[in-house]
Amino acid sequence: MKLERAAVSTPAAARPNSGHMIRAEDLRKRYGHRVALDGVSFTVNAGEIVGLLGPNGAGKTTTLSILSGVIAPDSGRASIASYDLATAPRLARQSLGLVPQSLALYPTLTALENLVFFGRIQGMAARAALRHARTLLEEVGLGDRADNVVNEFSGGMMRRLNIACGMVHFPAAIMLDEPTVGVDPQSRGRIFAVVEAAAQAGGAILYSTHYMEEAERLCNRIVLIDHGKIVAQGTDRELIALAGTEPRIEIMTKKALPPGWSNGIAGVGELPWDGVGGFAAAATLRTLDQVPDVIRRAGEIGGEVVEFRVHRPNLQDAFLKLTGRALRDTP
């Protein structure tokens, strides 16, 4: 699918060429005795997609609310496209495209009417809003549904229109909160394409999600927040390395493998096996290059390797290692 950059780009006169388009500086926020944010700082540059990850109650929603101007921090600063939300809130909000998790659409209006309305309230001229609205509808795969009322749309169609409404006024920065919740694979793929095209055109994207595979695919950097603090930030590979997660191999053999079966293979750590059925063992590896040696040893001692699985560390492993596995039910 080919996307036209003009549909998601901003006129040069309306957007700085580079630099921090989204900036959070030492943000702090309390709700009574509960600390929601405790010194959160990060930036999102032009042309960059940054993932905002964290368990429930970690502080993501409060962070997004402050950066969108919905609430004010107790202390610290937030800015959009170099406009301070405390001293220049109107200009900051005009520079921001917000795509909330709760659909911000008028169900009795058509798709085109929704887009034109949101463009107009952001100060666009009627003709410019209409022209860009039609282009965006093509981008999100709704060009043939422009004149249909929104309450006839599927969930995936509404999600795509929701994103278009946040982008209609050519914002320098775009913040998306769980934009793919409940959508079908086709809609998810189209959403990814639109987000990537927006970044390629120079937009700064802050992408909040609970789906680790989305963050791995889309994001240049990841900000991991927990208990109101930044736990880690960097690329997915940097977070995986920071968490100290290692490749893992699970092996099923004809005969049981005794403790110490991997002795002599440097960097291999035997793990307690919790599998069900058959004779099996598990071990961590220093590198994936050790897989052939481990399989050969297991076959020699266990009679024959019947089956094996290798798990490469991923962002979800790092997420759980850095934030813990306990359930979080706090909103």
- How much of the chain exceeds pLDDT 70, in percent? 91
How much of the chain is helix, strand and coil, in % rounded to 5?
35, 25, 40
CA distance 13 to 28: 34
Give the pLDDT band (50/70/90) at residue 284. Answer: confident
315-323 vs 236-243: helix axis angle to the nearest 10? 50
Q: How many C-alpha atoms does 257 have within 13 Å on its Cβ side?
A: 30
The residue type of 202 is G
86 neighbors 76 (Cβ within 8 angstroms): no
According to the model, what pLDDT value does residue 326 have? 55
Domain 20-241: CATH class, spelled out: alpha beta
Question: Is pLDDT above 80 for 254?
Answer: yes
Was domain 246-312 assigned CATH 1.10.3470? no
- Sheet order of strands, 221-226 included: 96-99, 173-177, 204-208, 49-53, 221-226, 229-234
Mean pLDDT within 55-73: 95
Can you read off the two tokens belonging to residue 100? 């909330």
3-state secondary structure of 253: strand
Element (H, E) at 173: strand 173-177
Mean pLDDT within 299-313: 90
Question: CATH 3.30.70 in the chain, residues?
Answer: 246-312
For 149, which DSSP code? Answer: B
The pairing of beta strand 96-99 with beta strand 173-177? parallel
Mean pLDDT within 218-245: 92
Mean pLDDT within 249-261: 90
Give the pLDDT band (50/70/90) at residue 275. Answer: low
Q: Share the mean pLDDT of the chain.
A: 89
Mean pLDDT within 24-40: 96
- Sheet order of strands, 34-45 included: 34-45, 20-31, 75-80, 83-84
Mean pLDDT within 253-280: 82
According to the model, what pLDDT value does residue 13 have? 34
Question: Is pLDDT above 80 for 277?
Answer: no
Question: CATH 3.40.50.300 in the chain, residues?
Answer: 20-241
| Other C-beta atoms lying within 10 Å of the C-beta of residue 298 | 24
Q: For the purposes of burial, counting CB atoms within 10 Å of the CB of 143, is it exposed (0-12), middle (13-18) or buried (19 or more)?
A: middle
Mean pLDDT within 163-171: 96
Give the pLDDT band (50/70/90) at residue 45. Answer: very high
DSSP 18-57: SSEEEEEEEEEEEETTEEEEEEEEEEEETT-EEEEE--TT
Question: Is pLDDT above 80 for 273?
Answer: no
According to the model, what pLDDT value does residue 179 have? 95
Worst-scoring range by mean pLDDT, 16-25, 153-162, 216-225, 270-279?
Answer: 270-279
- Summarize pLDDT for 115-131 with one digit per residue, the tens: 999 999 999 999 999 99
According to the model, what pLDDT value does residue 228 have? 95
- Summarize pLDDT for 196-221 with one digit per residue, the tens: 999 999 999 999 999 999 999 999 99
For 285, which DSSP code? Answer: -
Give the pLDDT band (50/70/90) at residue 182. Answer: confident
**Residue whose token pair is 């089956």:** 307
- How much of the chain exceeds pLDDT 90, in percent? 74
Name the pTM for this structure. 0.81
158 neighbors 105 (Cβ within 8 angstroms): yes
Mean pLDDT within 28-43: 96
Worst-scoring range by mean pLDDT, 13-22, 30-39, 315-324?
Answer: 13-22
190 neighbors 140 (Cβ within 8 angstroms): yes
